[in-house]
Amino acid sequence: NYQNDVTGNSQTVIITVIPVNVYPPRCSPFDIYIGVFENETANTILTTLNCTDFYGTNNVDYYRTSASNVSVLNVDQQTGNISLIRTVQYRNPPANNDLQITVDVVPKGKQLPNTTLTVHVRVLDVDNNRPQFTSNKYQANISAHSE
């Protein structure tokens, strides 16, 4: 009879739960609007994307998915820095002085879930026509009663 031959034995089973991030990164804001002067040099950082994973850490990667002009804007995968690849000219602009880059943000080492950000960059004019002076010194007399 089985019930009469019962002997006891126990085992401890340890279960490790490995968290799986099923939540997309949090970013604020999702649409970013910035301006850049036409005389900014290559590698100038225009802005830094501010995204965190579900747990509030900066454990995310940034990937450029599209850009209005791929030869102008870059995103650093590790830091989220948006920078200029080259100088842009206001009078010879790409895309009517309005540039755009779309960035996918994903938890580090993963492909999904992702959050998509769009950075809009307006190229701003710089006055390149400085005044020309023909003398080192200019002098004028003004009457004390002049209006």
Pairing of strands 31-37, 115-124: parallel
pTM of the model: 0.69
Residue 119 near residue 47 (C-beta atoms within 8 A): yes
- Where residue 19 falls among pLDDT bands split at 50, 70, 90? low
**Tens digits of residue pLDDT in 54-98:** 888 878 988 888 777 778 899 999 999 999 999 888 877 666 788
CATH number of 35-124: 2.60.40.60
**Tens digits of residue pLDDT in 120-137:** 999 998 887 777 888 888
The continuous run of DSSP H or E covering 56 comes out as: none
Examine the pLDDT at 101 and tell me if it is beyond 60: yes
Structure tokens at 39: 């005389």
Q: What is the pLDDT of residue 29?
A: 84
Every domain of the chain and the residues it spans: 35-124
Handedness of CA 33, 104, 81, 93 (dihedral sign): negative
Identify the bridge partners of residue 124 per DSSP, sorted by sequence position. 37
Residue whose tokens read 């290559």: 42
